[in-house]
Amino acid sequence: MPVGILAAFAFLPILVALVFMVWLRWPATRAMPLAWLVAASSGLLVWKMDLVVVAASTLQGFVSALTVLLIVFGALIILYTLSESGGMETINYGFHGISTDRRIQVIIIAFIFQAFLEGAAGFGTPAAIAGPLLLSLGFPALAAILVALILNSVPVTFGAVGAPVWFGLKNLEYKVEAAISRTGPGIGFADMDGFYMLIGQWSAVFHTIMAFILPIFVVCFMTRLFGQNRSWKEGLGVWKFSLFASTAFIIPFLASAFFIGEEFPALVGGLVGLPIVLFAARKKWFLPQESWDFGPQSVWEKQWTGEIATEKDIEFKLQMSQVRAWMPYVLIGFILVLTRVQFLPLGTWVNAWSIGISDILGQPDISYELRPLYNPGIIPFALVSVFTVFLHRMPVKKVKKAWNQAFVRMKNPTIALVFAVALVQVFKNSGMNPMQYASMPLSMAEAVAAATGGSWPLFAPFIGALGSFITGSNTVSDLLFAEFQYDIATALELPRQIIVSLQAVGGAMGNMVCIHNIVAASATVGLVGMEGLILKRNVIPLILYGAVVGVMGLVFAYLVFPAIF
């Protein structure tokens, strides 16, 4: 069968997800099972896969989803425990006295603070916290959500302690190990962990330029859309502070990527950068002479506000000391470093115990393994949440409420994720067919490579963004498209680490147009029916992000590293 027809059938499940989620506005809980069904049907009818292989691949996807679901659950437990203990309210209270300039508040809260939240939790948590916080400070609801969604992009490749890299790229393991066996460690890494770190390093480099461009662009975007004078120029008034904040974040961000690992850039960048930026703001370093604010609410456009009134319905109070409120997050960062750095024995200890299933349904190449103690959802998230109960002296009633809320919130992500990962496993294992057809990702790669040729690095980030837009997750986008990107790089003889990194970065920038995040974040500030407008406006910074990163990828692929793995 011609590769173009195979590619069309391979793309069909993705097209189904796109049509039903975007055009018909189905939730992922309904669209992803349907997309999996289409993928399974294509595997059976077009690739002639054995029914047992399809069933085993599906079961492999179901159990593999447990790895990331544990992280989601742990992140929710931390969030709801802090919410019930008063710790989160205390953290929010601490932001109120920093500066009255809305531009400064955007840089501190929507950029630096969200980066820390993304590194610690991810999965939509940052915008769900930052949006209401900005609303309480006096932002129109629409402005709060726009800036929160757009700026929660730079750290997303490393969100939830690096899950989009070390979990999202796990389907490349067999390809990477084959490359190592052919060429040896001279390609720049000796094992899969080294490959993950290499991708983290390149992704951090690609994000760096936008870490300086995006904050000032977003501030200008805000003053143009929501200012009384509708002026881009008014946003430029904070360029000094914006560059300072970006520098305070990007230095530890890059250092973590190059010297520690892919789990830490966002977490460490936010954790180190936030106190530096807060100190500078309180000292009035690099601040503009004139403060900027939105006009009086009487002149605000109707579509700017939602069901929750700005500055009226939300009032934060100091529930405990800032040190005690922040201590759970500090402990999370501390434990993660102790268990991830190579030169300490704790990493070996938590990795020692594993559970799994081999030869699922008798298929020797289909298996699953979980290292429970190495999963951040258990250590440190769940562990620290238990410690927080005693640290914040929480009554049993509030502890029970926090855990109940986390379990309730797990329903929809679980349904969507298990079928999304099952779809990916069917994609991956479709190469196991009697027709000797290339797998679904490879078929798409061959067709696209023939159409785009050597200009592919310009398009690679937008494929990652498409994955996040469809699936609602950078992690699942990487699961869906990483093998596709790897195969295109192989077909075009481009550096595979560059193209895979562009996928990881694209999945992060797609966070700003992700339907799931837009809907969830809008709900936190009471916006109803504005999802289309938010999506339309966020396309502008998405294109900017993709263009800058794509050009960088093209330069690195051809001018700097033309012959590396």
pLDDT digits (tens, 9 = 90+) for 21-39: 767 777 777 888 999 999 9
Q: Stretch 36-64: mean pLDDT, rounded?
A: 94
Report the pLDDT averaged over residues 57-83.
86
**Is residue 257 in a domain?**
yes
Do the domain assignments include residue 303? no
Q: Is residue 189 part of a domain?
A: yes
Q: What's residue 165's pLDDT? A: 95
- pLDDT tens digit sequence for 282-316: 999 999 989 999 988 888 988 898 765 665 545 67
pLDDT beyond 80 at 253: yes
Dihedral sign for Cα 239, 241, 246, 247, please. positive
Whether residue 306 lies inside any domain: the answer is no
The count of residues in the chain is: 565
Strand partners for 355: 370
Asked if 79 and 121 count as a contact pair (C-beta separation under 8 A), the reply is yes
* pLDDT computed for residue 210 by the predictor: 97
Q: Is the pLDDT of residue 242 over 60?
A: yes
Distance of CA 504 to the CA centre of its chain: 9
Domain that holds residue 461: 3-298+320-560
Tell me the CA distances in angstroms from 185 to 177, 178, 191, 196, one per residue in order: 10, 12, 8, 14
As a whole number, the mean pLDDT across the chain is 87
Q: What is the pTM of this model?
A: 0.78
Q: Is 356 helix (H, G, I), strand (E, B) or coil?
A: strand
Residue 369 host element (H or E): strand 368-370
* Residue at 220 is within a domain: yes
Pairwise pLDDT comparison (100 vs 200), residue with the higher score: 200
pLDDT at 234: 95
Q: Which residue has the higher pLDDT, 481 or 278?
A: 278
361: in domain? yes
How many domains does one find in the chain? 1
% pLDDT > 90, the chain:
48
Backbone angle region of 341, left / alpha / beta, with phi > 0 → left and psi within -120 to 50 → alpha: beta
The predicted structure's pLDDT at residue 564 = 57
Query: Has residue 214 been placed in a domain?
Result: yes
Query: Where does residue 501 fall: left (phi above 0), alpha (psi -120 to 50 degrees), or beta otherwise?
Result: alpha
Beta strands in 436-491 (DSSP E): none
Q: Indicate whether 364 belongs to any domain.
A: yes
Tens digits of residue pLDDT in 6-21? 999 999 998 888 788 7
Confidence of residue 532 (pLDDT cuts 50, 70, 90): confident
Radius of gyration of the chain, Cα coordinates, nearest whole angstrom: 23
Find the range with the poorest average confidence among 414-423, 514-523, 531-540.
514-523
- SS3 label, residue 419: helix
